Amino acid sequence: MALKADRKPPTRTAAPLGVWGFLQRVAVGVSANNLIGYSAQLAFYFFLSLFPLLLFLATLLAYLPMRHRMHTALAVLGKVLPTQALALVKGDVESLFHQHQNGLLSFSAAFALYTASNAITAIGAGLNQAYGAREERPYWRVFLEALLLALALALVFLVAFAFFFLGPMAAHAAAHRLGIQLFPIVLGIIRWPILLLAVILATALLYHFTPNAHQEWHWLTPGSIFAVFGWVLSSLLFAFYVNNFGSYNKTYGSIGAVIVLLTWMYLGGLVLLIGGQINAVIGHATGERRRNNQDTDRRARPNRA
C-alpha cells in the first residue's frame, strides 16, 4: 500500500521496517502528529453528531412497525457502551417514538448529515497529520466531499442495520411460507459478519477519502482492522471499568454520564487515528522500499549493458 503525501512525515527513516521499527514509527507518529489532541477534537464532534443521529433514527423508526427493534439496538449497544452513557440517551430516544411531527424526519436527517459532515471533516484533519499531508483543498470542496461521504456511510449502515434487524423477520416469514426452517438459522449466523463488513467498509472509506493523500483503494487495510477490533476491545474494557470500578457520578455529579460518553468517544477517535497512522507508516515504508528497488535497478543497468 504505497502512499504519496505532500510533505515528509516526521517518522520517516531509512531503517528497514521490522516489527520493532514499525511499532516505534507508529508511536513516534502518534506523538509527533498530536493525534491525542485531535482525538479530543473528534470526541467533541462525535458528541455533537450523536444526538442528531439518534433523533433521525428514532424518528424514522417511529413511522415503522418495528419499535421493539430500537430496544434491541440499545441492548446491543449496551454491550460496548458503559451503563451511565447508555442511560444518558436511552430516555430521550424512547420518548421520540411517540412523536410524529410533520417535518421532523426531514429536519433530523438534514441536521444529522450536517453534524456528521463536520465530524468527517475533523477526521480528515487528524488523518492528514497521520498521513503527513497538507490540506490544500478549498473548504467548500472538503465539506462537500464530507457531505457525500456522510451520505455514503449512512446508506451503508442503513442497509446493514435493515438486514440485521429486519432480516430475521423476513427469514421467519420465508421459512413459514416455504417450509424451510434453515433460513432463520443461517441469517442469525451471517448477520453479524455482514454488520462487521459494513463497519470495515465505512472505515476503509474514511481512510481513503478524508485525507488529502493519494493512495490506492483497498477494501481491507491493517489500519482498518486495528480500528475496528481496537474500538470493540477498548469499548468493552472501558465499559467493564466504568461499570465495575469507575466512580464518575461521585466525582463529576450529574454530568458524570456526559464525561463517560465523551471519554468513550475519545477512545474511539484515538483508535481511528492510530489506525490511520498505521496505514501511513506502512504506506511510506512501501514507498521507500519501491524507490530503493528502483534506484538499485537503475544503478545495475549499466553493468548489465
Cell numbers that stand for 121 in this block:
471533516
Q: CB–CB of 133/279 below 8 Å? A: no
- What's the pTM? 0.77
C-alpha 90/C-alpha 94 separation (Å) is 6
Domain assignment present for residue 305? The answer is: no
**Would residue 46 count as lying in a domain?**
yes
Tally of domains within the chain: 1
Burial class for 132, CB neighbours closer than 10 Å (0-12, 13-18, 19+): buried
Q: Which domain holds residue 255?
A: 27-289
pLDDT of residue 12: 43
Asked if residue 96 is part of any domain, the answer here is: yes
User: Does residue 2 sit within a domain?
Assistant: no
Measured between alpha carbons, how far is 303 from 68 in angstroms, rounded to an integer? 75
Q: Quick one: pLDDT at residue 106?
A: 74
HSE of 47, CA atoms in CB hemisphere, 13 A: 19
Compute the half-sphere exposure of residue 50: CA atoms within 13 Å on the CB side of its CA: 18
pLDDT at 5: 47
3-state helix, strand, coil in the chain (%, to 5): 80, 0, 20
Whether 91 is covered by a domain: the verdict is yes
Degrees, nearest 5: CA angle 47-50-52: 125
User: Hey, which residues does 3 pair with through a beta bridge?
Assistant: 215
Tell me the C-alpha distance between 267 and 240, whole Å: 14
Residues 6+ away with beta carbon under 8 Å from 97: 58, 61, 62, 67, 70
Residue 211 lies in a domain: yes
Q: How far apart are CA 11 and CA 45, in angstroms?
A: 28
The region, left, alpha or beta by phi > 0 then psi within -120 to 50, assigned to residue 13 is beta
Please indicate, yes or no, if residue 18 is contained in any of the structural domains. Answer: no
Phi, psi (rounded to 5 degrees) for 215: -150, 155
Return the pLDDT at 256: 75
Considering the domain boundaries, does residue 119 fall inside one?
yes
Whole-number pLDDT of residue 261: 84
In terms of Cα–Cα distance, which of 22, 94, 37 is closest to 277?
Answer: 22
Low-confidence ranges of the chain (pLDDT < 70): 1-17, 58-82, 84, 86, 88-105, 165-189, 246-254, 289, 291-305
Residue 215's DSSP bridge partners are: 3
